[in-house]
Amino acid sequence: MWRYLRAMSSIVTLSEFIMERQADFPYASGDLSRLLADIGIASKIVNHKVNKAGLQDILGAMESTNVQGETQMKLDVFADQALLNAVRWGGQVCGAASEENERYFAFDTETCRKSKYVILFDPLDGSSNIDVNVSIGTIFSVFRRKSSVGDLANVNDFLQRGAEQVAAGYVIYGSSTMLVYTTGHGVNGFTLEPSIGEFCLSHENMRIPEDGKIYSINEGNLYTCSKGVQTYVDWCRQNDKKTSRPYSARYIGSLVADFHRNLIKGGIYIYPGTEKNPEGKLRLQYECNPLAFIAEQAGGLATDGKQRIMDLQPKELHQRTPLFIGSKNMVERVHQMIAEYDQAEIKN
């Protein structure tokens, strides 16, 4: 059917694209392709639920005789279970870890034990925005397992540096729903076409502009950030026509949505260490690593203010890290300022 559709138009669906790109991996068995397709299906299930979020109370009352508790389920728990089920029954991963669960899961089925990959995800990012109808997302990160094929997954499978990722992506549930992913061969974006229920290639080979005019930070925290971060934000606000400043401040409060906008338009997203959270708020394995992989593959950068995000060695599952991510020149500039001002502060 899709071949027919394609002959009729220039539509390339996510599944077609994944199959075509399998040739990028010599000796690939197709497992990673199937895993990406499973994630695509899970995200359509989540998307359906997200679209109905505003009707939750009304439908909840109407569906009260349905599966017990289902309508009362919080959306991030629903998304978590949708993803866990998709990857467990898809059989392409031996384990999964998610922001919503304290421990990782080792899937004890014959197919899963034999599989080569593990997945980590933030099932619903920006969950505080659900009730107010603002864009939210799902973020995922895939690694080749460290444990032996046939064994149960163990913690070392989940504590790998971001540089070891084999695939990463996100889904944004926005004015339209998009899935953006990389397998280390560039970044491609797909928009969900609701009338046919398929993700269709809409943003081929995405590149982030080297410079941007948008900075995204929760400025409410600014005076509890380091001197270097304060100096950079102040620099962004200064009036200088030659460098197109002042920049625009844009902060949605959903990392996926802020990152997605900056990826397309150029910009920097900052979640630094603060007095309250010295290691920042965002999670290295579920949020920062996957977006760092995408940023770098699109020509941008991601650091913790001192070093590359993807070089950080995770010590625990839910580790947090400061994040500076986006257009190359912007991330480099904030880095210089951090080095200059924060180092000076440490010496004094």
* Site of interaction with ligand AHG (CB under 6 A): 99, 122, 125-127, 218, 253-255, 281
Q: Kindly state the smallest distance separating residue 266's Cβ from ligand AHG, in Å.
A: 18
The amino acid sitting at 334 is: V
What burial letters (b/e) apply to 204-233, b meaning 16+ CB within 10 Å? Answer: eebebbebbbbbbbeeebeeebbebbbbbb
| Other beta carbons less than 10 A from residue 248's beta carbon | 14
| Residue 277, contacted partner among ligand AHG, Mn ion, none, CB below 5-8 A by kind | none
Task: Identify the CA nearest to 247 among candidates 265, 220, 223, 226.
Answer: 265
What is the binding site for Mn ion (CB under 5 A)? 99, 122, 124-125
| Residue 130, contacted partner among Mn ion, ligand AHG, none, CB below 5-8 A by kind | none
Q: Kindly state the smallest distance separating residue 281's Cβ from ligand AHG, in Å.
A: 5
122 vs 304, beta carbon nearer Mn ion = 122
| Other beta carbons less than 10 A from residue 190's beta carbon | 25
Q: Kindly state the smallest distance separating residue 81's Cβ from Mn ion, in Å.
A: 13
159 vs 255, beta carbon nearer ligand AHG = 255
Q: Which two tokens stand for residue 38?
A: 């499973």
Count of all residues that appear for the chain in the document: 348
Q: Angle, to 10 degrees, between the axis of helix 289-297 and the axis of helix 255-265?
A: 10
Q: Kindly state the smallest distance separating residue 320's Cβ from Mn ion, in Å.
A: 11
Distance between CA 243 and CA 236 in Å, rounded? 10
Judge contact between 183 and 166, C-beta under 8 A: yes
212 vs 290, beta carbon nearer Mn ion = 290
Q: What are the residues facing 198 on neighbouring strands?
A: 193
DSSP state of 287: I
| Residue 183, contacted partner among Mn ion, ligand AHG, none, CB below 5-8 A by kind | none
Distance between CA 298 and CA 210 in Å, rounded? 10
Q: What are the residues facing 190 on neighbouring strands?
A: 179, 201
32 vs 75, beta carbon nearer Mn ion = 75
Q: Kindly state the smallest distance separating residue 258's Cβ from ligand AHG, in Å.
A: 6
Q: Kindly state the smallest distance separating residue 7's Cβ from Mn ion, in Å.
A: 41
126 vs 212, beta carbon nearer ligand AHG = 126
| Residue 281, contacted partner among ligand AHG, Mn ion, none, CB below 5-8 A by kind | ligand AHG
222 vs 264, beta carbon nearer ligand AHG = 222
